[in-house]
Amino acid sequence: MSARSKSETATISARSHENDDVPFDVSMPDQQTTPVVFASPHSGCDYPASFAAASQLDSVALRRSEDAFVDQLYARAPQYGAPFLRAHFPRAYVDPNREPWELDPGMFSDELPAWVNTSSPRVRAGLGTVAKVVTDGAEIYKGTLKFKDAEQRIKACYKPYHAALKKLLDDTYTQFGSYLLIDCHSMPSVGGPMDFDSGNNRVDMVLGDVHGTSCAPEITAFVQTTLEDMGYNVVLNTPYAGGFTTRNYGQGSGTGHALQIEVNRALYMDEQHITRTAGFSTLAKNLNTLMDALCTLDMKILKGKAMKAEIKIRNAHARDAPEIQNIYAHYVRNSVASFEEEAPDVDEILARRTAILDFGAPYIVAEIEGRVCGFAYASKFRPRSAYRHTVEDSIYVDPLVIGKGVGKCLLTALIDRCTDLGFRQMVAVIGGTGNEASVNLHHRLGFEQEAVLKSVGFKFGTWVDTVIMQRTLGQGDTTLPK
């Protein structure tokens, strides 16, 4: 009996021969009716006998690296018209969410070929294509391996898995003109010793779209809203922004999208004993609802062919405060774009708007078809009076319209209005060195990067840098102010 059929226990099945089983299976619907494809790369639990014998860990310790039971959580995907791919081999044996040749030379008794990637962050953490450690940091092997061991695993398991995934996506694209890959994962409920959030309790769900590059923001926002409406606490890209799968298959364009979903294991399983809990059925039911919603998503979003609506910029009114608060709260709760950790309420948003207007700076919103979809304002750069000719800009865009040009329209209008009001310098204080979208937007509109302040913020259990950018307004410092 294989471990897959004994899913309620923590034991593993050790196969007597390395290639007895196909390394994956694909569950196809009777008819594929959606461009959505689901994949579970880390729920495999068929352990080769030679691997189990070479390990110094017991079966439970090995299984703690698995995304245990995730394949069961998404098992009904074909009922919604979507294919479902799942690996049989465990990630501790070979990890398909890595580049094909990320290997730690310290694990091998012979020299690795020069073309092997031996210095990636995953390798340094002991979690390369062939892992050195399990999730809690315990080393897997009693001794060293030979390169041919890794080569055999990659050829027998990794490459067939990705060939199958690519074929599914190619076939889906041929049929529908686009695809959406949902990469299904689970995460420990507490950050491990190798994680930046070590010892911290984690949220219910993490969506990884490689910071907006692997999946259209409309899709990510749709998934987040759907899950939050079910009562789950959901954040984006922290601590997991996506792995090799999302980076490799997700263009975030009309061609194809890839989104990683990490589920907190405490929602559905006993992490110590690797057994399902009563919460499994509730989570499975809610994920079925999500799959149903995704598989009936408007095709225009996936194809990136939605009509481009006119963006209107106007002064913000008091009546806009609820929509502004809703947009801003998203960034407070899900990103380091804001260093606030508790979202202000509508009354506080109104008070801040009043302070901006009293200072004599603009506070504006962007509208599409009458709905507020972003806002921007200029504020005092510093409180001392000698700073009175310098302002700091702030811009926030509804995630549903990111990539539609709203940010550019807002920042352009803010620059023009501040220039007309006689301000001479504008400073951007951008949270996180990984916020390429904001940095690139400011660069395009004439800002230059002046500094990076290291580790000046602490949010989501990690230290965060700040990027300082600056742009001259009007005559700048070439003339004296009146």
pLDDT digits (tens, 9 = 90+) for 323-369: 999 999 888 887 889 999 888 999 999 999 999 999 999 999 999 87
Q: What DSSP state is assigned to residue 267?
A: G
Burial label, 310 (beta-carbon count in 10 A; 0-12, 13-18, 19+): exposed
237 vs 197, higher pLDDT: 237
Intrachain domains 3-303 and 311-472 with the same fold: yes
Q: Which pLDDT does position 200 carry in this prediction?
A: 80
Q: Which pLDDT does position 461 carry in this prediction?
A: 81
Which CATH homologous superfamily contains domain 3-303? Zn-dependent exopeptidases (3.40.630.40)
Sequence-separated (6 or more) residues with CB below 8 Å from residue 304: 178, 216, 253, 254
Q: What is the pLDDT of residues 167-204, one digit of tens each?
A: 999 999 999 989 999 999 999 998 766 666 677 888 99
CB 13 within 8 A of CB 277: no
Q: Which pLDDT does position 306 carry in this prediction?
A: 44
Partner residues linked to 370 by β-bridges: none
Question: Over the chain, what is the mean pLDDT?
Answer: 89
The residue among 390, 397, 384 whose CA lies nearest residue 469 is 390
Cis-peptide, bond into residue 239, ω within 30° of zero: yes
DSSP string, 344-399: --HHHHHHHHHHHHHHT--EEEEEETTEEEEEEEEEESSSSGGGTTEEEEEEEE-G
> Around Cβ 419, how many Cβ atoms within 10 Å?
15
Distance, in Å, from the CA atom of 87 to the CA atom of 410, rounded to the nearest integer, reads: 46
Among 137-151, 193-207, 250-264, the range of highest mean pLDDT: 137-151
Tell which CATH classification among 3.40.50.1370, 3.40.630.30, 1.10.287.130, 1.10.486.10 matches the domain 311-472.
Answer: 3.40.630.30
> Around Cβ 303, how many Cβ atoms within 10 Å?
16
Structure pTM? 0.65
Enumerate the domain spans of the chain: 3-303, 311-472
Distance, in Å, from the CA atom of 73 to the CA atom of 150, rounded to the nearest integer, reads: 30
Phi, psi of 304 (to 5 degrees): 65, 30
pLDDT score of 7 more than 60 = no
Q: Which pLDDT does position 216 carry in this prediction?
A: 87
Residue reference for tokens 């490459």: 159
CB 401 within 8 A of CB 215: no
Average pLDDT rounded to a whole number, residues 90-103:
94
Sequence-separated (6 or more) residues with CB below 8 Å from residue 379: 355, 356, 359, 361, 391, 392, 394
Helix or strand (DSSP H, E) at 407: helix 406-420
211 vs 29, higher pLDDT: 29
pLDDT score of 388 more than 90 = yes
The residue among 156, 344, 187 whose CA lies nearest residue 269 is 187
Burial label, 161 (beta-carbon count in 10 A; 0-12, 13-18, 19+): buried
CB 152 within 8 A of CB 93: no
Structure tokens at 424: 């001479």
To the nearest whole percent, how much of the chain has pLDDT over 90? 68
Q: What is the pLDDT of residues 10-24, one digit of tens each?
A: 444 433 334 446 899
